[in-house]
Amino acid sequence: MTSIRARSRALYSKPKSVDDESSRLQRYISALQVNPGRGSADLMPTPTRNSGLPFRRGGFRSLCEALDYAAHGETGLNFFDARGRMIGRLPYADLRTRAQRFARCLIGAGIARGERLVIVADTWPGFCVAFFGAQYAGVLPVPVAVPVGLGAKQSYIRQLRRQILAAGAIAVVAPDDLAEFAVTAAEGTWARFAGPMSLFEAMPEAAGELRPFGAGDRCYIQYSSGSTREPLGVDIRQDQLMANIDGSIARQQLDADDSGVSWLPLYHDMGLIGFVLAPMCAQRSVDLLAPRDFARRPMQWLSLISRRRATVTYSPTFGYDLVARRARQQLPEGIDLSCLKLAGIGADMIQPAVLRRFADAFAICGFDSRAFMPSYGMAEVCVGLSFGRRFSGFRTDLRDGREFVSCGQAMDGHRLQIRGDSGFALGEGSIGRIFAEGPSVMPGYFLKTEETAQVLKDGWLDTGDLGYWRDGELVVTGRAKDLIIVNGRNIWAQDIEWAVEGLPRLRRGDACAFSVSAEEREEVVVLVQGEPPDAADQDELVARVHQVVRESAAVDCRVVLIARRPGLPLTSSGKLSRVRARANYLAGLGAGLADGQ
């Protein structure tokens, strides 16, 4: 009998040439970015409130139990394109029906309880159906990233294959136009099935009982955004996730009138938990915009908030920076942000200057800076760990000439410690490594015992971040591995990067700073990406970078100019990867346009 994997190979054969593969990826990205026929005036978004279902702030034992409850209401998820047109809706009632049908297909295909299903986590209803279908089937979902741009096809397939192998996945599901990439990546692995949703939905449905995950079971595997060469999957459990969701709902004080708008990727913990799983556990409606559509039309994020009267949104600092910069060029008419009561910030270092710029730019649109809610977290604790207070704005602390933003206090039931090199807890104002303990902390990395032992001891997680206490609140100063030490002085890579990116013709994300060993000393290297300038402009830019680094950090550096394409390496969530940039530099990869010494 022909296997489903053989059928998927026949339907979605491996591309015959690099040109064919490139053209398919081009069509995929183009179709998702510009498709005049995608929107439908007939679609009505799900309502903000349920008419009869009593509001619950979590308190469920598993995702399936939460969806079983939310399905009795009318709220759910809405999907929008780059032009703000609604292209799909998925009420929680429909999500439950479709997910249970998908679960029966997985069971009918012979996928055993606890086996892994890799899901390419594009912003589309099919991802949500597959993710929750796996929950009802007792199959462990593994969300993974989509390609981040053209020219990344081969590296994307290699990365996807590594994740399939690391998870020991039995099946891979992807959007239609990425199905061929999923099939190619699955070759030579344990995966028996690979293809689009339609391939799985065509499988015979099992007639027996569903086998949903319960409170003591696993939930899914979350790969960290920086996982490339050796993928590290965080082993997320149901009780761990429910504790985190309950804590974040309580700290954010969500109520029955709240609704959200998000452009965050669904393969990232903040996007998946913050704007799919947690809202479902609170029966809230959310409007979703794909990250690529946000990158193309950033103002659509704010336009959706205004039009849909959303009260909750979240973004890393660079998202607020991008729209604030666009507002200086042209502020769209009709945007009203007076509805926004929670504008969360997290996932990267919070820059107070950016928040002030955003608040100033959109005050005319009714934005109240008290809506800002700084937070701190990571995938190893599901997502959030500490939060500021709702509608209280952000607080800063000045230390050694640097301004830091307070990230509030830990969620109920969780503890934070700042420890010194000796391993003992430090007091107020002393900088050390941040450790976390509580019900949200992961049991470990999936099938990675050595890596788990390096960060977990006696129930405490070494976050790898540095910070200190100020008035009982956590202040995060940066990643320990991003700290540059020159002649006994601590220099933060972010400080150098922010200063350089303030130069004319440069923008946020155009600089990367790190140190390398050179002749028994540490040398600071600054990579600067941009459009190829002429020789005179190169010399001028190098000189200005040297000057601004001396002024901001009081250190000399080597400046290397590189082309914007392929540019500086990024993680799958779009953050700068200093580790990869440093490795590329040491390996002589991505030769610069100019080495300014």
Q: Is residue 268 part of a domain?
A: no
318 — pLDDT class (breaks 50, 70, 90):
confident
**Which residue type, as a one-letter code, is found at position 321?**
D
Q: What value does the mean pLDDT of the chain take?
A: 88
pLDDT digits (tens, 9 = 90+) for 222-243: 987 543 456 789 999 999 999 9
Query: Is the same domain home to 63 and 125?
Result: yes
- pLDDT reported for residue 19: 42
Pick from 465, 480, 495: which residue ends a domain? 480
- pLDDT reported for residue 270: 95
Q: Is the pLDDT of residue 488 over 80?
A: no
Q: Is the pLDDT higher at 6 or at 409?
A: 409
Query: Is the same domain home to 473 and 492?
Result: no
Count how many residues are written for the chain.
597
Strand partners, 343: 313, 372
Query: Is the same domain home to 44 and 130?
Result: yes
Q: What's the whole-number mean pLDDT along residues 107-120?
A: 97
- pLDDT reported for residue 328: 87
**Which residue type, as a one-letter code, is found at position 29?**
I
Query: Is the same domain home to 306 and 390?
Result: yes
pLDDT digits (tens, 9 = 90+) for 259-278: 999 999 999 999 999 999 99
Q: What's the whole-number mean pLDDT along residues 19-36?
A: 39
pLDDT digits (tens, 9 = 90+) for 489-508: 778 788 899 889 989 888 88
- pLDDT reported for residue 47: 95
Q: Do the beta carbons of residue 337 and residue 370 sit within 8 Å?
A: no
In sequence order, what are the residues at sequence separation of 6 or more whose Cβ sits closer than 8 angstroms to the Cβ of residue 560?
A: 525, 526, 527, 528, 585, 592, 594, 595, 596
Assigned token pair, 254: 């969500």
Q: Is the pLDDT higher at 421 or at 137?
A: 137
In which residue are the tokens 């008035």 written? 471
Q: What is the CATH number of the domain that holds 526?
A: 3.30.300.30
CB atoms within 10 A of CB 3: 10
- pLDDT reported for residue 534: 67
Q: Is residue 267 part of a domain?
A: no
Q: Is the pLDDT of residue 76 over 50?
A: yes
39 — pLDDT class (breaks 50, 70, 90):
low
Assigned token pair, 390: 């709702």
Q: Is the pLDDT of residue 555 over 70?
A: yes
Q: Is the pLDDT of residue 20 over 50?
A: no
Query: Is the same domain home to 340 and 465?
Result: yes
Say how far apart CA 382 and CA 274 lie, in whole Å. Answer: 10
Q: Is residue 375 part of a domain?
A: yes
Query: Is the same domain home to 476 and 580?
Result: no
- 460-470 vs 432-437, strand pairing mode: antiparallel
Query: Is the same domain home to 86 and 52?
Result: yes
Q: Is the pLDDT of residue 12 over 50?
A: no
Query: Is the same domain home to 385 and 339?
Result: yes
Q: Is the pLDDT of residue 339 over 60?
A: yes
Number of domains in the chain: 3
Q: Is the pLDDT of residue 370 over 60?
A: yes
Residue 91 belongs to domain spanning: 4-238
Query: Is the same domain home to 217 and 100?
Result: yes
Q: Is residue 244 part of a domain?
A: no
Q: Do the beta carbons of residue 367 and residue 359 sit within 8 Å?
A: yes
Q: Is residue 291 part of a domain?
A: no
Range from 42-46, 300-304, 589-593 that averages highest in pLDDT: 300-304
3-class SS shares of the chain: helix, strand, coil, % to 5: 35, 25, 40
- pLDDT reported for residue 6: 56
Q: Is residue 255 part of a domain?
A: no
- pLDDT reported for residue 332: 84
Pick from 450, 480, 510: which residue ends a domain? 480
Query: Is the same domain home to 308 and 222?
Result: no
Pick from 446, 480, 514: which residue ends a domain? 480
Say how far apart CA 229 and CA 155 lie, in whole Å. Answer: 11
Q: Is the pLDDT of residue 441 over 80?
A: yes
Q: Is residue 281 part of a domain?
A: no
Query: Is the same domain home to 149 and 48?
Result: yes
Query: Is the same domain home to 341 and 370?
Result: yes
- pLDDT reported for residue 577: 85
- pLDDT reported for residue 311: 99
In which residue are the tokens 């559509």 written? 293
Q: What is the CATH number of the domain that holds 469?
A: 3.40.50.12780
440 — pLDDT class (breaks 50, 70, 90):
very high
Q: Is residue 257 part of a domain?
A: no
**Which residue type, as a one-letter code, is found at position 100?**
Q
Q: Is the pLDDT higher at 489 or at 325?
A: 325
pLDDT digits (tens, 9 = 90+) for 138-168: 999 999 998 866 456 887 898 899 999 999 9
Q: Is the pLDDT of residue 400 over 70?
A: yes
Q: Is the pLDDT of residue 25 over 50?
A: no
